[in-house]
A and B are shown apart, each in its own frame.
Chain A
């Protein structure tokens, strides 16, 4: 979690966010939506260096799905298509009822990791992803009961307060995902990322998301700060201006930059060791 760890060549965990639930093929025709497409993408990013895949489930028409049944189909397909990649399910869901938000945790086997949103985020002019404390605590209790490693989603600086609130309940090491982008996310800048990292608790591991054009510079900065990186089409559709990305191309680029900077890319087994994840492969 420090520049010294960068200098020591600490392995970097690359997470690939393959599909998301906000946009779909109407935005990027190559975005994987079906279980088969998501599984194919998962195999490609594992080959490219991703240690973790972040999964959402969808209906046949690309719309959001939260049911255990839909997640089971996706996660089974990904397990069949990959060797050892760590499987992380999303529990995010703007406007979805709390009971549905817990459904992705109930697959068999349970996901090894899951996202845990630390507070509210606005979407468009009329929608807010609320993520009340009750929701956070309820989802976290489910994760602890099922032995699922939470990744704390820090949409902005104030959400660090919420992370500190549950710090004592977290298995070691705490793992926080710092998210920079538009709207109610932390405004994307190197100074803001640096400031967030300075405020993390001792011993924490952190991951970085930069939305859109901020993915490349801010994940690169994370490499220098001893952090991990998340890339993928959920967060960014373009490899560079005017050139649509694939999930594998984004992971390949992150792995190449990490190598250039002296950060070896963590295997799934190394990622489990670094992040305190119980294997279910």
Chain B
């Protein structure tokens, strides 16, 4: 599973990469590698609990 807002892209219109990279369609930018593990739901990480961008979009409060 992965975050529904995750896309893998080689370009964002400005920059080109040889290999497609994690791109957040909510923030409209490439994701830092450390955060891409949240997007890809690795190591038990989960966008709903671990990503502020996902949570802001979903309207979740800090303790939800």
Contacts and interface: CB of A to CB of B under 8 A. Distances in A.
Q: Do A and B bind each other?
A: yes
Interface of A: 21-27, 29, 58, 60-64, 94-97, 100, 123-127
B34 A61 contact: no
19 contacts: A21-B33, A22-B33, A23-B33, A24-B32, A25-B17, A26-B15, A26-B29, A26-B30, A61-B22, A62-B19, A62-B21, A62-B33, A63-B22, A96-B37, A100-B43, A125-B52, A126-B49, A126-B51, A126-B55
Contacts, number: 65
A95 B43 CA distance: 7
B33 A58 contact: yes
A21 B40 CA distance: 16
Contact of A61 (B15, B19, B49): B19
What is the predominant secondary structure among interface residues of chain B facing chain A? mixed
A124 B37 CA distance: 14
A94 B34 CA distance: 8
Contact of B32 (A27, A58, A61, A95): A27
B36 interface: yes
B34 A64 contact: yes
B56 to A, nearest CB: 10
Nearest 3 A-B pairs (CB), nearest first?
A26-B30, A125-B52, A22-B34
B35 interface: yes
Given A125-B52, A126-B50, 7 more contacts: A24-B21, A25-B21, A26-B31, A61-B21, A62-B21, A63-B37, A127-B34
A95 B35 CA distance: 10
B35 A124 contact: yes
Contacts of A22: 32-34
Contacts of A64: 33-34, 36-37
A26 B19 CA distance: 12
Contacts of B30: 26
B49 to A, nearest CB: 7
A94 B20 CA distance: 23
Contact of A23 (B32, B37, B44): B32
Contact of A26 (B21, B44, B55): B21
Contacts of B50: 95, 126-127
B23 to A, nearest CB: 9
